[in-house]
């Protein structure tokens, strides 16, 4: 079986998110989690861009409307952050549609709002 795409990169991102979750727990707004995660990523030497607006293509042509990616890590892994009670298929679809339209292969969805363990998903563009 082939090695999963960007596995080590995703684990590094999730590891930083777990540490952030240990420190702050649940109950803050998404913006607080994003700033704290950015600091953790920087401390770990993980390259990222905040609030990146990658181009979305439609039939090979760029659209004027942009998706704002919370974080783009390692130059190729979009990270969508949430602060909700629990993730649903709607959040998965948001990331998967972004992956398909941008041609990026792997994205990460992280939810800091659920109580207990950090909720996260590694999503793959199968197109």
Mean pLDDT of 59-63: 88
35 within some domain:
yes
- What is the share, in percent, of the chain residues with pLDDT greater than 70? 97
Asked whether residue 11 is domain-assigned, the answer is yes
Is 90 inside any structural domain?
yes
Tell me, yes or no, whether 2 lies in a domain.
no
- The stretch 92-118 carries a mean pLDDT of 88
Asked whether the beta carbons of 87 and 109 are under 8 A apart, the reply is yes
Domain that holds residue 14: 7-124
Q: Phi/psi of residue 79, each to 5°?
A: -125, 120
Q: Is residue 82 part of a domain?
A: yes
How high is the pLDDT of residue 18? 95
Domain CATH for 103: 3.40.960
C-alpha dist (Å) from residue 95 to 38, 85, 117, 125, 127: 20, 18, 21, 9, 14
With cut-offs at 50, 70 and 90, classify the pLDDT of residue 1: very low
Q: How does pLDDT run across 8-59, given as a tens digit for each residue?
A: 999 999 999 999 999 998 889 999 999 999 999 999 999 999 998 877 778 8
Looking at the structure of the chain, the number of domains it has is 1
Backbone Cα Rg of the chain: 14
């Amino acid at each position: 079986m082939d090695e999963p795409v960007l596995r080590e990169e995703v684990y590094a991102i999730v590891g930083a998110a777990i540490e952030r979750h240990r420190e702050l727990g649940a109950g803050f707004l998404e913006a607080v989690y994003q700033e704290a995660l950015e600091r953790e990523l920087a401390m770990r030497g993980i390259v990222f861009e905040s609030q990146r607006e990658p181009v979305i293509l439609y039939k090979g042509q760029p659209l004027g409307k942009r998706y704002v990616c919370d974080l783009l890590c390692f130059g190729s892994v979009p990270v969508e952050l949430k602060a909700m009670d629990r993730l649903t298929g709607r959040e998965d679809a948001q990331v998967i549609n972004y992956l398909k339209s941008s041609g990026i292969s792997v994205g990460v969805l992280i939810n800091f709002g659920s109580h207990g363990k950090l909720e996260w998903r590694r999503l793959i563009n199968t197109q």
